[in-house]
Amino acid sequence: MPKLPLVVCIDDDEAILTTVVRCLRREALELRSSSDPVQVLKWIAEEDVSVLVSDYDMPEMNGAQLAGEARRIRPETVRILLTGHRTLETAIDGINQGEIFRFIGKPFENDHLRGAVLEGAKRHDELVALSGDRQRRDRRVAMHAALEAEYPRISLVTHGEDGSYEVAADPWPDAAALGLAGLTSALERK
């Protein structure tokens, strides 16, 4: 059975936090809630949190700051900000600090919140896939560099359509200096 997307909800107002969780509980999601930003950041650091749903106005740390910390810890976690203050300043703060995926005004429509969270979970999967592609590419580049360091110019060897191998340049430029002139001559004859 596939693992359900983990959604973490945070609000300093317990009644709103309960409403958010109740709104999402019928979806195929694993839900966690807290009013403590430190706990939320710990969850994000330790587990693959798909979506963070955060209130903007909180006493310890505002939602944009929390989203910014979440982004630094786990960039693939999609961040949604709930706010009762729909101002340009709030939007700019959220975008600059936390690269917010969606802003949802309070009071919110349940369907709107559910839709945004489900879209966020899909976006999380896309970001994880892109991250995996980037990691594979980085590993391939590192392996190529290590191979090239151990066997200089090996990347200049190509495989011809007829099954032969072609060397674009002398793969052992110092062969004569190393006393391997005979080996170089034998390779040239082939």
What type of residue is 175?
A
DSSP string across the chain: -PPPPEEEEE-SSHHHHHHHHHHHTTSS-EEEEES-HHHHHHHHHHS-EEEEEEES--SSS-HHHHHHHHHHH-TTSEEEEEES---HHHHHHHHHHH--SEEEESS--HHHHHHHHHHHHHHHHHHHHHHHHHHHHHHHHHHHHHHHHHSTTGGGEEE-TTS-EEESS-S-TTTTTTT-HHHHHHHHH-
Q: In sequence order, which residues have a C-beta less than 8 Å from that of residue 83 and are 6 or more positions away?
A: 55, 56, 57, 63, 90, 103, 104, 105, 106
Q: In sequence order, which residues have a C-beta less than 8 Å from that of residue 154 and are 6 or more positions away?
A: 147, 148, 171
Total number of domains in the chain: 2
Whether residues 129 and 172 share a domain: the answer is: no
pLDDT score for 161: 76
Whether residues 114 and 33 share a domain: the answer is: yes
Quick: pLDDT tens for 65-75.
999 999 999 99
Whether residues 133 and 155 share a domain: the answer is: no
CATH number at residue 79: 3.40.50.2300
- pLDDT higher at 59 or 31: 31
Quick: pLDDT tens for 35-50.
999 999 999 999 999 9
Place of tokens 């976690």: 77
What is the residue range of 180's domain?
151-189
Q: Predicted confidence band at 163 (pLDDT cuts at 50, 70, 90)?
A: confident
Asked whether residue 144 is assigned to any structural domain, the reply reads no
Whether residues 98 and 177 share a domain: the answer is: no
Q: Would you say residue 121 has pLDDT above 60?
A: yes
